[in-house]
């Protein structure tokens, strides 16, 4: 079963920022520049946390991972599209 998580980050180094952005896009169904909507299994979440811990500098960077309660109503404004869990993911 997949759960929706919002992953937001603030990375101080441009190279690390690009690496983290590329890494998270592989798990994302949508989002913006430094905020991604990711439907993840428990195993995927553990892997992402483990990988991000090795990618960031803990005294310079910050990453927030928020679990979104599936019962909550999503409010979108402008051209925003509500997140949806796709039937499959292509990672590559």
Binding residues: 10
**Residue corresponding to tokens 């195993």:** 43
3-state class of 77 per DSSP?
Answer: coil
Residue ranges for the binding site for Mg(2+)? Answer: 10
Strands, DSSP E only, in the chain?
3-10, 30-32, 35-40, 62-67
């Amino acid at each position: 079963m997949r759960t929706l998580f919002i992953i937001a980050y603030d990375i101080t180094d441009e190279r690390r920022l690009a690496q983290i952005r590329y890494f998270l896009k592989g798990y994302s169904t949508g989002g913006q520049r430094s905020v991604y909507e990711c439907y993840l299994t428990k195993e995927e979440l553990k892997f992402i946390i483990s990988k991000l811990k090795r990618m960031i500098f803990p005294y310079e960077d910050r990453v927030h991972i928020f679990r979104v309660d599936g019962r909550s109503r999503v409010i979108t404004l402008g051209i925003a599209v509500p997140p949806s869990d796709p039937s499959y993911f292509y990672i590559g």
